[in-house]
Structure 1
């Protein structure tokens, strides 16, 4: 049996028999799945005799000390307004906070999810890189997927409809909807002010299909579950304006109220087939509490 040692920021184990690193970690971290253990290793939280090791088949010898940095310690020193939900050799799934850019803009170059992840992977290996697969608007929070190689990026983008099985958002919108569920279909175009707008004329723009269902509502606001059949720029925001129920805080698309001091849009779920292993993966981010407590929650029905 491998001996466990105490350390406030590390779980330490003395190796009893020769083994490879990943199987050893799986044997000692019994509370986590194989993928979760792989993520811990890839993320750079594992040390062998004081050296940071990320190689899965790294050989261990009897007497080696394997140290695993605790999640609390690793998260505290890692990211601003985001965290990693999953990581392996091909992809990284993050939870992005509202206010954080996905990638650089003309006004902001460094404080982005992309830049933080690039710095992070390069600390493990200077040759490592991160690739954008899709984006979330700066003021939209929730789950987001990145690739770690150009090949995986291309595979995801070229086969997005086949690979991604679910993309669910939570939207807080103004007013009470007449229909508790429905579908909005239009062809989206962009005007000179960089605002997306709908055309009902077939093929006049990019086809956009949004499905929605009311979770609860009162006279002032409705909380919706929104599923994307297509993933166009500002699709949900434009379609909610089309319905006459703009997203709370979305002044650009017709909102007149902002009691939550942010955009009322959250990417709750992304589920997909892993581009390499073909394993089905599903990641979910909790609905922000402010969405649930907006203005007299006792009247939310």
Structure 2
């Protein structure tokens, strides 16, 4: 398998967190290199994700930076020691790198919390629904490109069914449940699938009904990934101009508040399921 040329989002995040520790300690990259027995250029390459770093070096850097947050240090060390390639790397020559990073983020997240106003989240989509969505991409995807994305999306969903399934919370607007991508039969099957997913202990789905007249939404999907420690939480925004990763503390707080507010106005899981059954009957 060819080596991926660009740094992964996870490598970039590790480097960024190490830079934060260094800057919090008031240590220059030149001094950091000297303390580690290497060069300023090597520190820069580590912090920008251009080169990897061993777990032992992460611990040494943490000592040099006088970091006493042991949980954070262990989480960063684990990130550094991840050497095994993921299943998503098999798609590296046929899908955009952003989709590989998305699968990796979902795989490593301790829990996921998502909000969608107009579409069913990818981890809850049936293959037929996903195929219908991908066929509407602009510019248009070729048939084989559509199928690659469908298989990748279905493979991502395995985190909800593995031995220790990821805890998944979704807040959906009623509009997303009434969209008929692919036609009536596909839409009905998709809604039936979402209802069945609510029966899993690790999945919670709440619906914001049309009767709610005010709630915060940014116009695109919001995916909140909980890390091993709060400092490693990440938000993924999927917009028409491309995906965006957010990890600044202030921004994470803003998105947590947004999701909290949406949760407050959404129906509880049981009435949400009742609403979905009514929509299914009318579809």
Structure with more contact order per residue of length (Cα contacts < 8 Å, sep ≥ 6): 2
- Structure holding more helix per residue: 2
TM-score w.r.t. length of structure 1: 0.29
